[in-house]
Amino acid sequence: MTKRTGMVEKRGSGYWLTHVGLIIGVLFIFFPIWLAFVASTVTQADIIRPPMPLWPGEHFIKNYSEALVSGINAPVALMLLNSLVMAMGIAIGKIIISLLSAFAIVYFRFPGRQVFFWLIFLTLMLPVEVRIVPTYEVVANFGLLNSYSGLIFPLIASATATFLFRQFFMTVPDELAEAARVDGARPMRFFLDILLPMSRTNIAALFVILFIYGWNQYLWPLLITTDPSMNTIVMGIKQMLPTGDDFANWPVILATSILAMIPPVIIVISMQRLFVRGLVDSEK
């Protein structure tokens, strides 16, 4: 009798080869992070005499506390706080204004509704990178350089989230609004007591995506935070690299890089299902 093998899924040697292939892929993905982690636990002297070690050293606490407390231009703890405020501001701000306006365009007939809807559509296609110079001028004229408002507002000025909530509200059964109206509930009661609780998963999924989007912003903070104490961590790392011929302080810079990726990575892994859902929703 011949050996039976799976028709589609692999067993035996093919099975192991599949695992080997995947593990190579995982290692390729991990390698840069591993190196950065190792470099963040050794001394500068270990690094400037290549090749650097490939196994962590004993200076983990020293390097990380140096980064957090004093950093190079500004303490990294402060940059983490700035990033947190910016990412939360973008995620929460955008979700609130989008929920309100999506509720209005789905559940009301008001003059200008169609125009508003088309304006939303237009904003779907223009990333901030394309209009940086004039946006910078607007923010400067308002005196918002080096401020949290300046970091947050230009990045919530698009309607992607409104569009998503609109799509979701359209799927909510009409009977619910009907019942609320018969019971004499005011529109805002309906919104707060029925629509919001129903949107919980969508809100959470969008929050994950928007938080990562806000946390990882680079160009915008680079332009408007000239004061090191307002730097966000992602743009602050580049400021730590020397411009001249000096050796970069790699252990501290890479400790900062690791710190910069921890919050969004934790969010992606711990909320994997919401993250995948948010990603699929926001791209379709």
Q: Name residues contacting another protein, limited to 194-253 (CB under 8 A).
A: 212, 215-216, 218-219, 222-223, 234-235, 237-238, 241, 247, 250, 253
Task: For residue 121, give the amino acid letter.
Answer: F
CB of 62 to another protein, least distance (A): 19
Q: Is 257 in the site for another protein (CB under 8 A)?
A: yes
Least distance (Å) between residue 132 CB and another protein: 7
Question: For residues 138 and 126, is the Cβ–Cβ distance under 8 A?
Answer: no
* Among residues 69, 81, 188, 192, the one that binds another protein under rule CB under 8 A: 188
Q: Would you call 57 helix, strand, or coil by DSSP?
A: coil
Considering only residues 36 to 75 of the shown chain, the ones binding another protein according to CB under 8 A are 36, 39, 47-48, 50-52, 54
Stretch of 12-20, 59-67, 70-78, 198-206 lying at the interface with another protein (CB under 8 A): 12-20
Residue 163 CA to residue 216 CA, distance in Å, equals 23
Which 90-119 positions form the footprint of another protein (CB under 8 A)?
Answer: 96-98, 100-101, 103-113, 116, 119
Closest distance of CB 64 from another protein, Å: 16
Q: Which is nearer to another protein, 202 or 256 (CB)?
A: 256
Which among 56-64, 65-73, 130-138, 195-203 is the span making contact with another protein, rule CB under 8 A? Answer: 130-138
Closest to another protein by CB, 124 vs 196, is 124
State the virtual CA torsion across 109, 110, 113, 114 in degrees, nearest 10: 70
Q: What end-to-end distance do the CA atoms of the chain give, in Å? A: 50
Produce one character per residue of 101-135: b if its CB has 16 or more CB atoms within 10 Å, e if not: bbbbbbeeeeeeeeebeeebeeeeeeeeeeebeeb
Q: Which of residues 135-174 bind another protein (CB under 8 A)?
A: 135-139, 153-154, 156-159, 162, 170, 174
* Helices (H), ranges, 124-173: 132-141, 148-156, 160-171
Residues that bind another protein (rule: CB under 8 A) add up to a total of 105
Q: Which is nearer to another protein, 78 or 237 (CB)?
A: 237
Q: Rg of the chain's alpha carbons, rounded to an integer?
A: 25
Tokens in use for 86?
């910016």
